[in-house]
Amino acid sequence: MALVNVKDMMQAAREGHYAIGAFNTNNLEWTKAILETAEEQKSPVIIEVSEGATKYMGGYKVVADLVRDLFEAKKITVPVALHLDHGTYEGAKAALKAGFTSVMFDGSALPLEENIAKTKEIVTLAHFCGATVEAEVGAIGGEEDGVKGRGEVADPNQCKLIADLGIDMLAAGIGNIHGPYPANWLGLDFDCLAAIKAKCGDMPLVLHGGTGIPEDQVKKAISLGVCKVNVNTECQQYFAAATRKYIEEGKDLEKKGYDPRKLLKPGFEGIKEIVAIKMAMFGSTGKAC
């Protein structure tokens, strides 16, 4: 089995009324944790990486080789896609060249005409490579590697324009944000989501900012056509909390507790814990049996 694009995943999720978790990787531990948990939970999964994390990890080819090599070495049997998160025009092209099976071209900050033109180009190139494309309308709130928004609510008519360009998934701003949600957050705009669904039909929809959205809202969003939910911050939080606990308990000072294989293990297990929780929440657990 090889890495796949997300087309079949999205169709199965839409028909089965569940969503696929798209978990950002940042290094070896993250990638191993996501793959191992997907296999244990028998869940299809999307491993995604931001452009900033790609630079940190050594480039697009390094990321692609790491994911593929671990996938093969661990004899993973569930469907796994490798996706670029919030890609620029040049970043999306570089990811496709490196062998990513899916890319997001985030042209949401561009004038609509430019967003449309560049999305068309990326769609043509990606489909030629056998990859899938996610596009965005209405900037997602918070910040993701310099991509900023204010939680805009997307225009359903603009969503229809972008959806008709041949993309495979659509990320539409519905009040969601990246990172932790503030206490005064008003929640997701389900009227807007329903209107987007009505305009775009069977187009799989993507919910960014999956960290911190209450479970009932996540499940309602899935019922309205969301087939992919992005999670990054929560994995980072679980990793950091477990690592902090290990050090505060002085375990790094016991014998060879400073060995990175031991030092990073609690955080690794923390990532596995939250990934399993999210897969159950999204309804994808057992769907790769």
Residues tagged active-site: 85
Question: Cβ-count burial of 30 within 10 angstroms (0-12 exposed, 13-18 middle, 19+ buried)?
Answer: buried
Cα–Cα distance measured from residue 199 to residue 160, given in angstroms and rounded to the nearest whole number: 6
In angstroms, the Cα distances linking 65 to 61, 149, 174, 230, 252 are 6, 32, 35, 22, 31
Beta strands (DSSP E) in 88-215 are: 102-105, 132-137, 142-144, 147-149, 169-172, 205-207
The closest alpha carbon to 189, from 158, 226, 164, 163, belongs to 226
Q: How far, in Å, are 35, 97, 138, 212 from residue 52 at the CA level? A: 21, 18, 21, 22
Please answer whether residues 202 and 160 qualify as being in contact, where contact means their C-beta atoms are separated by less than 8 angstroms: no
- The CA distance from 37 to 42, in Å, is 8
Chain centre to alpha carbon of residue 242 = 22
**What SS3 state is found at 235?**
helix
Residue pair 60/78 in contact (Cβ under 8 Å)? The answer is: no
Nearest to 141 by CA among 192, 179, 108, 177: 177
Three-class SS state of 201: coil
Tell me whether strands 132-137 and 205-207 are parallel, antiparallel or unpaired.
unpaired
